[in-house]
Amino acid sequence: MKAVIMAGGKGTRLRPLTSNQPKPMISIANKPCMEHIINLLEHHGLEDIVVTAEFLSEEIQNYFGDGSAWGVKLSYSVEEEPLGTAGSVKFTQDRLNERFVIVSGDALTDVDLSAVVAFHEERGADATLVLKEVHDPSEFGIVVLEDDGRVSRFFEKPDPDEVFSYTANTGIYVLEPGILDGIPAGEEYDFAKDLFPKLLEAERPIYGYVTDGYWEDIGNIEQYLDAQKAALDGGIRGLRIPGEKVREGVYVGRGTRIDEARIEAPVVFGKDVEVAPGACVGPHSVIAANVRIGAGASVARSTVDERTTIGEEAELDGTLIMKDCIVGPRARLLEGSALGDGAEIEEGATVTSGVGVYPDETVEEGERVTEDVGEDEE
């Protein structure tokens, strides 16, 4: 059986973090989210994988190659223009001549895919949707099931007064290959909005499998922080954290030097990190390779990507920082703030809650910014 990873997302609500990288490459515990998905597929014996990509697809292909390093076989389908979820899979129909699983490369999950496939077979389904109970279904498609799990109703991204179910569509599907015949070729077409309601109207056997596993759509900064926390807390079954586990909840990569600093679990350090005396790192922080953290700095609930420098007595609290950034001495980055690649926060400056600093932008010494700095070129 084959699998399809949907990896075309631009992640516009995650910018500036996704200004220079596709959303599936966003890091969870120092690995791209899509790498965790590939590990999940391999664990369930799904080793022949088609990746549908569009935005900055070369970033994905350069990192994963043919997939052999992960024990899988990857092939790629790159769209020249967006075709929607169903349209992009239709584009690969010549490779999908048997039952297959679809999963998003930018949503973190530990769903038991083997159990989903078994449910699909038992029901004789044409399509099985993996569903998850959520508190706020307004960002998702919602589904109503009959007692045997058969889908009786769909509604895509309801307004608050339109909510009739809290069972959300995760975008994880098991499909029979004939399903693709009902998708028009070469045009934008969506599974949830277009194909599934059409199949339901035709009384085709569509079922829903409600998972009790972890699933988080990493659509915005808050969800990204939540996913990092779940990964570090051990709330995601089978998730592999790189580095040596030096004590409970603390993972350290090769060549990392921590000099009389306070480390509060859970925390992950990549390779060749330097932490100066008096610094405090954690809890729920992820520090990537070749990061420098200055004396007396405080890093809590934050993600810091490769080759970034954190100055002396700087304060990071619930912030997300991309590659090659400079955070000056005594600078402050508050909850939900985000720095794109190459951003610089000069000495004593403050980036307030929810503010983004776009790639290669600078916040000057002592400045306090309350609105986004810079914007994408496109």
Give the per-residue pLDDT at 298.
Answer: 98
Q: 203 with 123, same domain?
A: yes
The per-residue pLDDT for range 318-368, each reduced to its tens digit, is 999 999 999 999 999 999 999 999 999 999 999 999 999 999 999 999 999
Look up the CATH number of the domain holding residue 199: 3.90.550.10
The CB-based long-range contact list for 58-63 (8 Å cut-off, 24+ gap) reads 59/21, 59/22, 59/25, 60/7, 60/22, 60/24, 60/25, 60/34, 60/105, 63/25, 63/32
Q: 334 with 197, same domain?
A: no
Give the per-residue pLDDT at 82.
Answer: 79
pLDDT for residue 2 is more than 90: yes
Give the per-residue pLDDT at 134.
Answer: 79
Give the per-residue pLDDT at 56.
Answer: 83
Choose one of 203, 232, 261: the last residue of a domain. Answer: 232
Q: 129 with 180, same domain?
A: yes
Give the per-residue pLDDT at 153.
Answer: 83
- Angstrom distance (rounded) from CA 155 to CA 164: 9
Q: 214 with 284, same domain?
A: no
20 φ/ψ angles, rounded to the nearest 5 degrees: -115, 10
Give the per-residue pLDDT at 159.
Answer: 63
Query: Minimal CA–CA distance to 328: which of 273, 366, 271?
Result: 366
Mean per-residue pLDDT, 211-230: 92
Query: Minimal CA–CA distance to 200: which of 139, 269, 255, 145?
Result: 145
Counting the structural domains of the chain, the total is: 2
Instruction: Look at residue 377 and tell me if it is in a domain.
Output: no
- Angstrom distance (rounded) from CA 49 to CA 128: 19
pLDDT for residue 139 is more than 80: no
Look up the CATH number of the domain holding residue 355: 2.160.10.10
Instruction: Look at residue 237 and tell me if it is in a domain.
Output: no
Q: 199 with 263, same domain?
A: no
Q: 164 with 287, same domain?
A: no
Q: What percent of the chain has pLDDT over 70?
A: 95
Give the per-residue pLDDT at 118.
Answer: 97
CA trace torsion 159, 163, 168, 173 (10° rounding): -80
306 φ/ψ angles, rounded to the nearest 5 degrees: -55, 145
**Which single residue is written with the structure tokens 């044409």?**
126
Query: What pTM value is reported for the model?
Result: 0.92
Instruction: Look at residue 378 and tell me if it is in a domain.
Output: no
Highest mean predicted confidence (pLDDT) among 118-127, 154-163, 210-219: 118-127
Q: Give 10-64 as a DSSP string.
A: --GGGTTTTSSS-GGG-EETTEEHHHHHHHHHHHTT--EEEEEE-TTHHHHHHHH
Instruction: Look at residue 211 and tell me if it is in a domain.
Output: yes
Mean per-residue pLDDT, 298-317: 98
The whole domain housing 167 covers 2-232
Give the per-residue pLDDT at 73.
Answer: 98
pLDDT for residue 13 is more than 90: no
Q: 85 with 181, same domain?
A: yes
**Which single residue is written with the structure tokens 């496939």?**
117
Q: Looking at the DSSP assignment, which residues form a beta bridge with residue 245?
A: 251
Instruction: Look at residue 238 and tell me if it is in a domain.
Output: no
Amino acid at 289: A
Q: Give 165-226 as a DSSP string.
A: --EEEEEEEEE-GGGGGGSPTTS---IIIIIHHHHHHTT--EEEEE--S-EEE--SHHHHHH
The per-residue pLDDT for range 143-180, each reduced to its tens digit, is 888 889 999 887 766 566 655 567 888 999 999 999 99
Q: 195 with 299, same domain?
A: no
Choose one of 201, 232, 263: the last residue of a domain. Answer: 232
Give the per-residue pLDDT at 377.
Answer: 58
Higher-pLDDT residue of 162 and 298 is: 298
pLDDT for residue 378 is more than 60: no
Q: Looking at the DSSP assignment, which residues form a beta bridge with residue 128?
A: 174, 207
**Which single residue is written with the structure tokens 């899988």?**
72
Q: 135 with 184, same domain?
A: yes
Q: 39 with 136, same domain?
A: yes
Higher-pLDDT residue of 287 and 152 is: 287
Give the per-residue pLDDT at 167.
Answer: 80
The per-residue pLDDT for range 53-106, each reduced to its tens digit, is 888 889 999 999 999 999 999 999 998 877 889 999 999 999 999 999 999 999
- Angstrom distance (rounded) from CA 290 to CA 128: 44
Q: 250 with 213, same domain?
A: no
Q: Looking at the DSSP assignment, which residues form a beta bridge with residue 208?
A: 129
Mean per-residue pLDDT, 17-40: 94
Q: 120 with 12, same domain?
A: yes
Give the per-residue pLDDT at 160.
Answer: 61
